[in-house]
């Protein structure tokens, strides 16, 4: 059955891939892009290939953009837009740390709240959140991002139980390291501020990102979560990341300072 799906962060990465795949399979896709040049580019790309897709400007931090999006009736919200900022927790500027939470947690929650209210009133709907493997394990030098995704995990867990009685489903997708460019630029982001002051924590993070996976695997999994009648609450890919998460979570119980 065809669904109406709003995808945030649809200009690049998983958002673009999922929006594209859903539109190709006949779903009604509303693709949200952060800035107007991205809107123009995605619209033209879709038209060039004959795909029907509604592309809107949706900067999740922009109240006007959020209000415009919330006026659209949808079956599924793919709450995907996010940013990554790296750096040691002791050193990362608080303004940078806050910016991660503003996008990944607070703006995403405002959209989820708005659509959830409409879904509760009609008794159906699904909210799919892009969390991360980083929301389930420790990630040194990406602590701000990991903390934001741990917050997403807590929000989703609560929303799932709160909205289930009203016929509204809440699920997460948890990507590991995929070649979308997100991890690469996220690691590079700390270069913007690292040399602007004296550093106490000078150990430099390892930036070997040559083992990232083909994003097609994750995109396929997300599309399945959106389309399935009763998807799993949590979808972790790749399989090796799921195994790592379960082992590390078990190890925490015997960890010593």
Per-residue pLDDT of the chain (257 residues; tens, 9 = 90+): 899 999 999 999 999 999 999 999 999 999 999 999 999 999 999 999 999 999 999 999 999 999 999 999 999 999 999 999 999 999 999 999 999 999 999 999 999 999 999 999 999 999 999 999 999 999 999 999 999 999 999 999 999 999 999 999 999 999 999 999 999 999 999 999 999 988 898 766 666 677 899 999 999 999 999 999 999 999 999 999 999 999 999 998 998 88
- The CATH class of the 4-195+213-254 domain is alpha beta
Instruction: Give the Cα separation of 236 and 134 in Å (integer).
Output: 11
The answer, yes or no, to whether the previous bond of 238 is cis (omega within 30 of 0) is: yes
Measuring CA to CA, which residue among 85, 56, 72 is closest to residue 185? 85
Task: Tell me what pLDDT residue 204 has.
Answer: 64
166 is catalytic: no
The model's pTM: 0.95
> Any idea what DSSP says for residue 60?
T
Measuring CA to CA, which residue among 123, 29, 37 is closest to residue 76? 29
Instruction: Give the Cα separation of 99 and 102 in Å (integer).
Output: 5
Task: Tell me what pLDDT residue 173 has.
Answer: 98
Measuring CA to CA, which residue among 95, 249, 253, 86 is closest to residue 174? 249
> Any idea what DSSP says for residue 2?
-
Task: Tell me what pLDDT residue 103 has.
Answer: 98
Instruction: Give the Cα separation of 212 and 107 in Å (integer).
Output: 28
The answer, yes or no, to whether the previous bond of 127 is cis (omega within 30 of 0) is: no
Task: Tell me what pLDDT residue 192 has.
Answer: 94
Task: Tell me what pLDDT residue 197 has.
Answer: 86
Q: For 148-255, list the strands marked E by DSSP.
A: 168-175, 234-237
Domain layout of the chain by residue ranges: 4-195+213-254
Instruction: Give the Cα separation of 16 and 10 in Å (integer).
Output: 4
Instruction: Give the Cα separation of 124 and 172 in Å (integer).
Output: 17
What angle is formed at CA 204 by the lines to CA 199 and CA 210, rounded to 5 degrees? 150
Torsion angle, alpha carbons of 94, 97, 103, 108, to 10: -110
The kind and range of the H/E element at 128 are strand 125-130
| The two three-digit tokens of residue 203, written as one number | 């150990």
Instruction: Give the Cα separation of 88 and 202 in Å (integer).
Output: 9
Task: Tell me what pLDDT residue 23 has.
Answer: 98
The total number of residues written for the chain in this structure: 257
Instruction: Give the Cα separation of 41 and 44 in Å (integer).
Output: 5
Pairing type for strands 54-57 and 125-130 reads unpaired
């Amino acid at each position: 059955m065809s669904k109406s799906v709003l995808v945030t962060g649809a200009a690049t990465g998983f958002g673009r891939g999922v929006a594209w795949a859903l539109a190709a399979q006949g779903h009604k896709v509303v693709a949200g892009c952060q800035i107007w040049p991205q809107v123009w580019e995605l619209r033209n790309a879709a038209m060039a290939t004959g795909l029907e897709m509604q592309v809107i400007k949706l900067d999740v931090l922009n109240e006007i953009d959020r209000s415009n999006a919330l006026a659209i009736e949808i079956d599924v919200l793919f709450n995907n837009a996010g940013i990554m900022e790296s750096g040691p927790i002791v050193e990362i500027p608080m303004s940078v740390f806050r910016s991660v939470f503003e996008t990944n947690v607070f703006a995403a929650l405002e959209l989820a709240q708005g659509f959830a209210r409409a879904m509760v009133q009609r008794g159906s709907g699904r909210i799919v959140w892009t969390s991360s493997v980083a929301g389930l394990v420790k990630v040194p030098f990406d602590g701000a991002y990991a903390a934001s995704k741990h917050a997403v995990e807590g929000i989703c867990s609560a929303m799932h139980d709160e909205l289930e009685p009203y016929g509204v489903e809440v699920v997460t997708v948890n990507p590991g390291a995929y070649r979308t460019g997100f991890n690469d630029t996220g690691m590079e982001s700390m270069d913007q501020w690292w040399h602007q002051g004296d550093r106490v924590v000078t150990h430099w993070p390892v930036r070997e990102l040559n083992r990232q996976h083909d994003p097609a695997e994750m995109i396929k999994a997300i599309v399945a979560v959106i389309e399935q009648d009763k998807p799993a609450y949590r979808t972790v890919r790749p399989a090796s990341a799921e195994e790592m998460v379960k082992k590390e979570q078990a190890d925490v119980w015997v960890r010593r300072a």
